[in-house]
């Protein structure tokens, strides 16, 4: 009997190129990386997509303000994102740019399908337009007449446009939500459903007087609205419906997004796919914002924290650990350098680093055979951690891994192996080394370089979840330096 390997397709948002990556975009990308790595160590066939959204009026304005050619501007910024993700050890399988021909060709093809299906018509639009959001705003979406995200008053615009018949799909979208209860991000599900129930208006999907975008196929005086363009990247990265990669991985299993773009992903995106004739993704998940002094960290507010600067100062894995452990995934959190230092000194140095160094120091001095009987069955703890990850409870998964780490430190203190010898000592050391091996497996999605270093010191190659069982130790210990250094 042939068993088909389970697939998992995960995406980050396409990051908008009006400035460099910051700690908030790093948080979303690291979260996606942790999830992708977890599915890989579960022997699944994973496709992990990230990339950059490069069209639109806001990008053109940002390039003009810097006195740069817009193509050169996006080329340089997209490279900054790639360098940042590579530095932070992001294991993406593809990095797509909306200025690539492979993307533009699919967008044009899909527009033609939607138009052929009667879901596009020409008209005029007048409304309040927020440049920062690249979107028209209703009065109910404004606070004191200003965009709640960008703190600026929108412009009044009236222009010719082509509309997408979003209103046509209102009932179909609501039926889809009902039949797919896991599709909407849980903390925002009721809000989205209520907004759809209030009624959907047709969406303007082209712009005039903007020369930086994909030309509208049937009217070259218009360019395609950035949101109709950008969403299609999740498909264009796979090719189209006839490509083997599309057949292998679509529908996407998980789109990780920011809350400010939830409407486009939860409402507009499934409607576009209904019109094209493609199944919608399985799940949208809003990752929450990182705050600084209770303000969203964003390029438009000018309070950017460079993730590479933080990683250079404290290590990549220290930053990855802090971002995941500090904030439950899906909620807002505050970034604090002081709390980062506390977690490094407390959890990474005193708990994990101390455990590995103490255990391997004892083993280094031992001449006997490292074998024995498991003192504790970890299957239940591993099952709980797996359930945490399936529910996207990343910080809780780390908490439960840390319970194993702390219990193992407690085991050393209780057994006092420095007072033992012979088989009794060999049995204790066996339990220590096998627990540490399992800990290294469980930590590999979160702090991959540290996990690799533990496996190096164990004399083993990295392993997967199905090997999280106490068994015969087949490595050879070669103690290294401390995994983490204390920060004064």
Span 426-456, pLDDT tens digits = 999 999 999 999 999 999 999 999 999 999 9
The reported pLDDT for the residue numbered 153 is 78
Say how far apart CA 234 and CA 59 lie, in whole Å.
21
- Indicate whether 63 and 176 sit together in one domain: yes
Q: Please tell me which residue, 396 or 145, carries the higher pLDDT value.
A: 396
Out of 296, 319, 352, a domain closes at: 296
Question: pLDDT at residue 1 above 90?
Answer: no
Say how far apart CA 253 and CA 163 lie, in whole Å.
29
> What is the mean pLDDT of the segment spanning 206-230?
92
Share of residues in the chain with pLDDT > 70 (%)? 94
Question: pLDDT at residue 303 above 80?
Answer: no
Say how far apart CA 211 and CA 295 lie, in whole Å.
34
Question: What are the b/e assignments for 372-384, b being 16+ CB within 10 Å?
Answer: beeeeebeebbee
Residue 440 sits in a domain whose CATH number is 1.10.730.10
Closest CA to 350 of 391, 405, 308: 405
> What is the mean pLDDT of the segment spanning 359-384?
93
Could you tell me the residue range of the domain that residue 413 belongs to? 336-467
* Number of C-beta neighbours around residue 162 at 10 A: 24
Cα-based distances in Å from 207 to 159, 283, 402, 407: 8, 30, 52, 60
- Indicate whether 282 and 365 sit together in one domain: no
Helix (H) or strand (E) holding 319: helix 316-326
pLDDT digits (tens, 9 = 90+) for 222-237: 999 989 999 999 999 9
Say how far apart CA 399 and CA 324 lie, in whole Å.
10
Place of tokens 């160094």: 357
The reported pLDDT for the residue numbered 2 is 45
Closest CA to 281 of 273, 289, 293: 273
- Indicate whether 203 and 274 sit together in one domain: yes
* Domain presence at residue 485: no
Say how far apart CA 271 and CA 285 lie, in whole Å.
18
> What is the mean pLDDT of the segment spanning 156-162?
83
The reported pLDDT for the residue numbered 4 is 67
Q: Which residues, at least 6 apart from 382, have a Cβ–Cβ distance to it below 8 Å?
A: 438, 442, 465, 468
- Indicate whether 213 and 140 sit together in one domain: yes
Split into its structural domains, the chain has a count of: 2
Question: pLDDT at residue 142 above 80?
Answer: no
- Indicate whether 122 and 213 sit together in one domain: yes
* Number of C-beta neighbours around residue 167 at 10 A: 13
Out of 279, 296, 313, a domain closes at: 296
Closest CA to 417 of 406, 426, 408, 407: 426
* Domain presence at residue 156: yes
* Domain presence at residue 410: yes
- Indicate whether 126 and 183 sit together in one domain: yes
On whether the CB atoms of residues 41 and 444 are closer than 8 A, the answer is yes
* Domain presence at residue 221: yes
Out of 242, 272, 296, a domain closes at: 296
Both tokens of 136, joined, read 């028209």
What does the mean pLDDT of the chain come to?
93
Cα-based distances in Å from 96 to 14, 217, 355, 427, 441: 8, 22, 41, 52, 30
Place of tokens 């085991």: 411
Say how far apart CA 230 and CA 137 lie, in whole Å.
19
Say how far apart CA 8 and CA 358 lie, in whole Å.
38
| Sign, Cα dihedral of 413, 469, 357, 368 | positive
The reported pLDDT for the residue numbered 137 is 66
* Domain presence at residue 477: no
Question: pLDDT at residue 135 above 70?
Answer: no
On whether the CB atoms of residues 352 and 429 are closer than 8 A, the answer is no
- Indicate whether 349 and 289 sit together in one domain: no
* Domain presence at residue 306: no
Residue 145 sits in a domain whose CATH number is 3.40.50.620
Share of residues in the chain with pLDDT > 90 (%)? 82
> What is the mean pLDDT of the segment spanning 314-335?
96
| Sign, Cα dihedral of 233, 234, 238, 239 | negative
- Indicate whether 275 and 344 sit together in one domain: no
- Indicate whether 133 and 235 sit together in one domain: yes
- Indicate whether 148 and 201 sit together in one domain: yes
Say how far apart CA 465 and CA 259 lie, in whole Å.
32
| Strand order through the sheet with 7-16 | 94-97, 45-53, 7-16, 254-257, 284-286
The reported pLDDT for the residue numbered 371 is 92
* Domain presence at residue 309: no
Place of tokens 């363009």: 229
- Indicate whether 267 and 341 sit together in one domain: no
**Confidence class for position 150, pLDDT limits 50, 70, 90:** low
Question: pLDDT at residue 147 above 90?
Answer: no
On whether the CB atoms of residues 249 and 234 are closer than 8 A, the answer is no
In terms of average pLDDT, the best of 53-57, 137-141, 219-223, 249-253 is 249-253
* Domain presence at residue 256: yes
| Strand order through the sheet with 155-164 | 135-137, 120-130, 155-164, 203-204
Q: Please tell me which residue, 325 or 151, carries the higher pLDDT value.
A: 325
> Per the confidence metrics, is the pTM higher than 0.75?
yes
- Indicate whether 279 and 356 sit together in one domain: no
């Amino acid at each position: 009997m042939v068993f088909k390997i389970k697939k998992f397709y995960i995406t980050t948002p396409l990051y908008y190129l009006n400035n460099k990556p910051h700690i908030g975009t790093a948080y979303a990308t690291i979260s996606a990386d942790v999830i992708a790595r977890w599915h890989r160590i579960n022997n699944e066939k994973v496709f992990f997509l990230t990339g950059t959204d490069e069209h639109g009026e806001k990008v053109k304005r940002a390039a003009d303000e810097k006195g740069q050619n817009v193509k050169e501007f996006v080329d340089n910024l997209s490279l900054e994102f790639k360098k940042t993700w590579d530095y932070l050890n992001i294991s993406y399988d593809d990095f797509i740019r909306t200025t690539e021909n492979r993307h533009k060709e699919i967008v044009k093809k899909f527009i033609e399908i939607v138009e052929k299906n009667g879901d596009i018509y020409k008209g005029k639009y007048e409304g309040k337009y927020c440049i920062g959001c690249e979107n028209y705003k209703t009065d109910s979406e404004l606070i004191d007449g200003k965009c709640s995200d960008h703190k600026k008053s929108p412009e009044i615009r009236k222009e010719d446009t082509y509309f997408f018949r979003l209103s046509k799909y209102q009932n179909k979208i609501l039926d889809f939500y009902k039949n797919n209860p896991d599709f909407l991000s849980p903390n925002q599900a009721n809000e989205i459903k209520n907004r759809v129930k209030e009624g959907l208006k047709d969406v303007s999907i082209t712009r005039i007087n903007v020369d930086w975008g994909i030309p509208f196929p049937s009217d070259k005086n218009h360019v395609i609205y950035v949101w109709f363009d950008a969403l299609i990247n999740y498909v264009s990265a796979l090719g189209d419906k006839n490509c083997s990669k599309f057949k292998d991985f679509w529908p996407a299993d998980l789109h990780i997004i920011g809350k400010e773009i939830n409407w486009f992903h939860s409402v507009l995106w499934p409607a576009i796919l209904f019109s094209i004739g493609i199944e919608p993704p399985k799940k949208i998940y809003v990752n929450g914002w990182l705050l600084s002094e209770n303000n969203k960290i964003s390029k438009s507010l000018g309070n950017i924290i460079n993730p590479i600067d933080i990683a250079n100062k404290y290590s990549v894995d220290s930053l990855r650990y802090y971002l995941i452990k500090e904030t439950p995934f899906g909620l807002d959190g505050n970034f604090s350098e002081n709390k980062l230092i506390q977690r490094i000194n407390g959890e990474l140095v005193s708990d994990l680093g101390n455990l590995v160094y103490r255990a391997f120091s004892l083993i280094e001095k031992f001449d006997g055979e490292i074998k024995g009987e498991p003192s504790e069955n970890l299957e239940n703890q591993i099952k709980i951690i797996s359930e945490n990850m399936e529910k996207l409870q990343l910080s809780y998964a780390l908490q439960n891994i840390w319970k194993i780490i702390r219990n193992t430190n407690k085991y050393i203190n209780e057994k006092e192996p420095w007072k033992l010898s012979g088989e009794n000592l060999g049995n204790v050391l066996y339990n220590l080394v096998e627990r540490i091996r399992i800990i290294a497996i469980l930590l590999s999605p979160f702090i991959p370089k540290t996990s690799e270093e533990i496996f190096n010191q164990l004399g083993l190659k990295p392993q997967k979840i199905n090997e999280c069982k106490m068994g015969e130790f087949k490595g050879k210990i070669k103690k290294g330096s401390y995994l983490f250094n204390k920060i004064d």
